[in-house]
Amino acid sequence: MTQRASPLLLTSPALAVIGVFMLVPLGYGLAYSLLTASPYGGAELPLSTEGYVQILFQRDFDDSLYFSPTYLLILLRSIVLAGLTSVISAALGLPVAWFIASRPARWQGALLFVVTLPFWVNSLVRTYCWVLLLRDQGLINMALQGAGLTHEPLPLMYNDGATLVGLVYNFLPFMVLPIYAALERLDPRLIEAAHDLYATRRRAFLRIVLPLAVPGMRAGALMVFAPALGYFLVPDLLGGGRSLMIGNLIQSAFTSGRNWPFGAALSTLVTAGVLVFLVIAARRGRVEATP
């Protein structure tokens, strides 16, 4: 009896944390999404699905519904930007992680500290640094004009490109660390054996290093895509009103829009979509790991 109960006792703290910090907020969000928006903010009875209807439809002057793709386009932009953030972070994170993993052990700790150093600074401050770099009177435009390469400031701010740069900068460490964890266990004798068999550096990297880094890249993609999808600080500061993402739409619904059921419906759908994506990725990884 004690041996059967011990696994449950060991996992009970994790289950309690998941229940308190995940299931309870999700339950509150689902409950608010099924209420009616109050004219002065918040939500009230009776129950309604209007929050979900507003995602696809808008009401005309005669209260009839018509299809509106506005919010779907914002969701699509969010998915594309989050996906590009994952791809670019993987392309940049793989060589960085391989460089750290291939250094002597005494240097790896210092290099990992450099990678995680941005986390010691508030994300708002770090994002404002990019505002100072990308604005019309910023360092980049001033340098280009000073070198005679441009005659007027380039539009580096308030577009999808600036948003993508900010997202990659904020979430790149989440990609580097899992890849490093996968490559850190690589036996150097495998590389030596590949060179003994006349493999070039490129072939050794593609045939040995890259396949071993794939699990770390997959884990990093999950850690980057999920938070980048709902991030609202970077699009708000670097994208402005021209590069809205789903996080900005949710924040606007709860604040200036005073439509809590709509914001809760968006949050519920995005969270459910991310959970489905995580479950599919976990099952796929489990199937690939099965011999």
Residue range 248-265, pLDDT digits in tens? 898 888 888 888 899 899
Work out the average pLDDT over 199-211: 82
Q: How many whole angstroms separate alpha carbon 146 and alpha carbon 139?
A: 10
User: Bigger pLDDT: 92 or 290?
Assistant: 92
Asked if pLDDT for residue 209 goes beyond 70, the answer is: yes
* End-to-end CA, the chain: 34
User: What domains are defined for the chain?
Assistant: 69-259 (1.10.3720.10)
Token duo for residue 163: 């948003």
Asked if pLDDT for residue 1 goes beyond 50, the answer is: no
- Whole-structure pTM value: 0.86
Give strand ranges (E) for 160-229: none
Q: How many whole angstroms separate alpha carbon 248 and alpha carbon 145?
A: 33
Q: Tokens 């072939």, residue? A: 203
Under a CB-based contact definition with an 8 Å cutoff, are residues 139 and 181 in contact?
no
- What is the band of 63 on the pLDDT scale with cuts at 50, 70, 90? confident
Asked if pLDDT for residue 242 goes beyond 80, the answer is: no
Q: How many whole angstroms separate alpha carbon 82 and alpha carbon 276?
A: 16
Q: Residue 226's pLDDT is what? A: 87
Q: Residue 290's pLDDT is what? A: 55
Asked if pLDDT for residue 291 goes beyond 60, the answer is: no
